[in-house]
Every structure is written in structure tokens, then in C-alpha cells.
Amino acid sequence: MFAYGPIPSRRLGRSVGVSPIPPKTCSYSCVYCQLGRTNHLQVKRESFYPKEEILNDIRKVIEKATADYITFVGDGEPTLCKDLGWLIHESKKEFSLPIAVITNGSLFYREDVRTDLKESDVVLPTLDAGTQEIYKKINRPHKNITFDRMLQGLIDFKKEYPGKIWLEVMLVKDLNDTKETLSRTKIALDRIRPDRVYVAAPIRPPAESWVEPSTPDRILLARKILGESWDITSRESGEFGVSEFSNAREAIYEICSRHPLRENQALEIEREFSQEGTIEQMIRNSELVKIEYQNETYLLPKELIIR
């Protein structure tokens, strides 16, 4: 299943997600990633799946969904899909919804990546650091990507791109949220000049168990130093679209694989299908694992748990 949702998004409203790449395939292995550590760290772009099958999957979800965006996001880095430009073009042609791309922005130094994204309406890249040292610690990029190379790619993309760039800064406690590190991030932001800046914090169980979200005072410091920004450090709310699933087990497992669910969110899906007891059965069968993070219980597929 390549398309799913709609899911509630703090930035995009109700979003139909599209993952055109295999799970945990990325150019980064971020310490805070909600999908665990990257299994396939790469910068080579590939056609991982038949592009027509991906488009057909989008079509099936859109037919049943009421959504605000179609969002190419991936279970890793979506720009690794070399069919992304074709998928965006065909989606724009066929569906009356704006197109968003959530990306780490690491491959924007490539002209073909920048070209592939030009027909999208909004691109949401990440910038978590202002120096090579912090960049390596928090994003753990592929060896071929340096901070300067990544940053120049974002600068070049901003000059060429006709749509909106909404950039996210993910704050990790004591790693990139000090006055010094934030000041360096601000210098990089000023060079990119995005249309909007979001300040975020890890809200779901991260790849590394030591990762904690910034404290409220550090979040306020970040917003002061980074300038005008949108705070998305709180948990998302809203219902998940489940019309493409045949039962509660399938819905919970597929959504958790891409978007770890709070226990109360999973219980709502159980009730939607009138299949109470599904979660406990999945836990007994070792399909799901409960994880406590920041005073909240989350459900994740067992294979995502890497500590």
C-alpha cells in the first residue's frame, strides 16, 4: 500500500500520504526519527516500485477521501524515488488537490531533484543544525552529504522554486537548542529565506532512547532567536482516514508502520470497525509493542523497535 489516510497533520490539515520508497530507506538516520534507525542509508535515486501502481493507489484513496493535500512523504526520504517528478505531474493533472512534499532536503544539491519538485505546491524540508558538527550528530547523513552541500542545495532550490517552502527545525534537548546552536541555525535560515518556519519537537518515540524534546523555555528561546515561526511542538489531533482498510488490524498496523499511534488513537480505530480487542490481540501476537514516551503510550510495529 503506497497511499494512505487522510491523516491529521499539524501543518497540512487532512493529508493523503504517499510513500514511494521502501521502509527505512533514507539519506539520513536522524536520532529523533519516529520510524527508527535507517536500514538503507543511500543517496542513489531509484525506481523502487512501478510508478503506475503508486498512482493507482493514490487514485483509490482519493476516491474515498476528503483531504486538503496529497503529500509525498515516504517511510524515509521521498526524493530518493526518481519517479517523483512524474508522480507529482500526474497527480496535479488528475486530482484537484494541492501537492506537498515532506523531505529532509538533503538531496537538493542535485538538479534533477530540484526539477522534480517544481510542480508541487509546497515543499517542507528540514533544517536542524547550523554547523557540520551538529548536523552529523542529529541527522547522521550519508557520507556523501556535507552540511555545506545540503545548505547550498536548499539555497538554490529557494531561488528556483515557484511554490512555497515551509521549513521545519526539530529541537532535541541539549543537542541543537542552546543559544549558540540556535544562533548558527538562524544564520543558515537567513541564507535560505523560507516562506515559513516551523519549530517542532519529538512527540513520538524516537530512534534513540536518549532523545528528549526541548523544554518549554528552550522552545521559547528558539522562537525568539529564529524569528517569526509557527510552534508545532504539541501533539496532533483529529481522525485518521481508514476507508481503504478492510478491518481494524490492517488499519492499525499500516498506520502505525508510518505514523506511530497513541493508544487512544488506535482505540478510536478499533471502535470505527466495531472490533474491540484487536489491539490486545496484536500485542499478544507480537505484531505491536507498547512504548512509553513523554507520559504517553504509543503503539509501534515490533520491527520498528531498534534500541
307 band by pLDDT with thresholds 50, 70 and 90: very low
Query: How many separate domains does the chain show?
Result: 1
64 band by pLDDT with thresholds 50, 70 and 90: confident
Whether 273 is covered by a domain: the verdict is no
**Cα torsion 147, 148, 149, 154: sign:** positive
Whether 281 is covered by a domain: the verdict is no
**Res 236 pLDDT > 70:** no
Distance CA 55, CA 68 (A): 18
Residue the block writes with cell 524540508? 125
Whether 120 is covered by a domain: the verdict is yes
Whether 285 is covered by a domain: the verdict is no
Whether 43 is covered by a domain: the verdict is yes
1 band by pLDDT with thresholds 50, 70 and 90: confident
Q: What pLDDT shows up at residue 243?
A: 67
Domain of 205? Answer: 3-244
User: What's 30's domain CATH number?
Assistant: 3.20.20.70
Q: Report strand pairing: 13-18 vs 3-9.
A: antiparallel
Q: What pLDDT shows up at residue 30?
A: 96
Out of 245-249, 261-265, 293-297, pick the least confident: 293-297
Whether 278 is covered by a domain: the verdict is no
**Res 134 pLDDT > 90:** yes
Whether 263 is covered by a domain: the verdict is no
Whether 197 is covered by a domain: the verdict is yes
**Res 90 pLDDT > 80:** yes
